[in-house]
Amino acid sequence: MVTLHCLADVCLIPIGTSTASVSNEVAVITKLARSSHLNCTLHSAGTTIEGPWNEVMELIGQFHEKLHDSGVVRIQSDIRVGTRTDKHQSPQDKIDIVEKKIASGSV
């Protein structure tokens, strides 16, 4: 079986911390993501991770472990994941296609 490639949009939600801010947790996760060989893009409400399914899920598990290690006792993750077999598409490709349609006036 060919390794399934995926794009996962992940948002970890720490529960029960003493502040409404999550930027510290996001910084910890982003550092970990950048140390992996997977393509990761930080956006305003999560991170998009691109790569083989198992490795992406493994990395998300490491996010949880890392945050638990730093003292967060509960984390609820929102994960949206997409796969396709007809072509390879990066997160930027998906955005570019929409921008091109808008710029061309076709919509």
Would you tell me which residues interact with ligand NAG (CB under 6 A)?
38-39, 50-51, 90
Q: What stretches of 16-92 adopt beta strand conformation (E)?
A: 39-43, 46-52, 74-82
Nearer to ligand NAG, 24 or 39 (CB): 39
For 12, list phi and psi in degrees, rounded to 5.
-90, 130
**Nearest residue (CB) to ligand NAG, 4 versus 13:** 4
CA dist 52 and 55 (Å) reads 5
Closest contact distance (angstroms) between CB of 61 and ligand NAG is: 17
* Cβ proximity to ligand NAG, 49 vs 72, nearer residue: 49
